[in-house]
Amino acid sequence: MSHVLVARCVRGLEWILADEIASTTGPGLPAGGMRLAPRQVSFTVPRLTRQLLTLRTADDLFLQVGTVTGVDQTRAALPVLAARLGQLSLGGPLTALRDLRDVPDKLTFDVVASLSGRRTYNRYAVEDTAGGVLGPMLGGRYVSRSAGTGDWPAGGTDLTARLFLHGTEVRVTLRAGSRPLHRRAWKVRTGPGSLHPPVAAALARIAGHPDGGVIADPFCGDGTIPVEAALADPAARVIAADLDGSRLGNARANAAAAGVRVRFLQADAGVPLLRDGQLGQVVTNPPWNRSVGAAGRAADGLGPFWRQLPAGFGRHGRVTVIADAELGTAGRLRGDGYDVTLAQGIRLAGRLSEILVATPPGTAPIPADPALAGWRQQAIRDGVLSGDGF
């Protein structure tokens, strides 16, 4: 029996997630079996495996139960939704989930509804309607968000049903994991402006780690990028630096919790981190001067950082960076002689941001991964992305 899965992600990362899914599921999943849409990738697998729960660029992963129709924008649609949800079969999907992870016989569950378009009811009305119907079908106790947190289990619920309402259709799914995939057990210490882990994983996937070279993050903060880079390739030589000693302490604790090897340095990003061509790649999230402000030699702008950086690279080099779109980082890089080979818009924490890939002046470009580039072209052909945004 095949299973349809829906992986959710940050807007603009759909192509990177598709590449990771293809790599994780193996050659048995042809490109035609994957559907990219804004903020999600749908795909079919012959069986559920625990490897699916290792997707690092996904925010979450859901098993599709079915689709109901005829649910319009008026409150009269709620009884229709209840009646049609009751016609779904949940036995097979629940059995498949129990093959994937532990789901108790007497379970607690919650419902999350995503509504598109204007409607005369809110998400809580949908969630409580669905919860009342799905409870007997799942043999579980529904925990409502509309009632507040007083009844919420201390460790969370055992299962989450997610409903996606678009037009008059409702896609009904069950969360594959016990918790959203974007939550990292290793992220034990954080501070302001800490990067969303799936975005850090996407940066690491774009960068790659060719030839076993050094990959460095000169603005490591809580260490999200270095940890994700080290998890992506345990053989990579990862260096993380920051001027803020407290954030560097967070990074050390997080790397220890993740069980990865990272070399940490307290350093000013305006001063060369490495010399004599030791750098292979830089993957970083420089200060945006919003949640976190720049300090040291970069306090008045990142110019000193960008200008000194090329001296650390060897014959080949690549910089992968995420920045707020309003900062104009792509233009500044070009002004300092960098060749910007990718500028991809994403929506992060409600703001338009951009992922940039650039070749430092005086170095030869590192070739892009052809498989990853192919998924980006498919996302553009499917209308999910434009050439530089979405």
**Domains contained in the chain, number:** 2
Name the token pair of 84.
């049609």
Rounded-to-integer distance, Cα 287 and Cα 324, Å: 9
Q: Quote the pLDDT of residue 1.
A: 75
211 has a pLDDT exceeding 70 = no
Establish if 335 belongs to a structural domain. Answer: yes
Q: Provide the residue range defining the domain that includes 100.
A: 3-175
Say yes or no: 204 and 298 in one domain.
yes
pLDDT category at 162 given cuts 50, 70, 90 is very high
Q: Which residue has the higher pLDDT, 89 or 290?
A: 89
Flag whether pLDDT at 122 surpasses 50.
Answer: yes
Reported as a pLDDT band with limits 50, 70 and 90, residue 390 is low
Residues 208 and 348 placed together within one structural domain of the fold: yes
Do residues 215 and 141 share a domain?
A: no
Mean pLDDT of the chain: 91
User: Measured in Å, how far apart are the chain's first and last C-alpha atoms?
Assistant: 35
Question: What's residue 146's pLDDT?
Answer: 84
Determine, yes or no, domain membership for 83.
yes
Residue 192 lies in a domain: no
d(CA 253, CA 238): 16
Q: Are residues 250 and 294 in the same domain?
A: yes
- Higher pLDDT, residue 174 or 290: 174
| Residue 259 identity | G
DSSP-based three-state secondary structure for 40: strand
Of 334, 260, 320, 261, give the one whose Cα is nearest residue 16.
320
Six-digit token pair at 193? 């402006």
Is the predicted pLDDT of residue 62 greater than 50, yes or no?
A: yes
Residue-wise pLDDT tens digits, 351-360: 899 999 999 9
pTM metric for this prediction: 0.92
The mean pLDDT value for 26-49 works out to: 81
More confidently predicted of 222 and 275: 222
29 pLDDT above the threshold of 60: no
- 359: number of Cβ within 10 Å: 21
Distance CA 336, CA 319 (A): 13
Residue 230 and residue 158 share a domain: no
Q: Does residue 233 lie within any of the structural domains?
A: yes
Q: How confident is the model at residue 209 (pLDDT cuts 50, 70, 90)?
A: low
Report, as an integer, the average pLDDT of 47-57.
Answer: 94
Same domain for 203 and 337, yes or no, is yes
Q: What is the arrangement of strands in the sheet containing 140-142, beginning at the earlier edge strand?
A: 34-37, 40-45, 3-8, 60-68, 169-175, 159-166, 107-115, 140-142
Query: For residue 388, is it within any domain?
Result: no
pLDDT confidence tier of residue 30, bands split at 50, 70 and 90 = very low
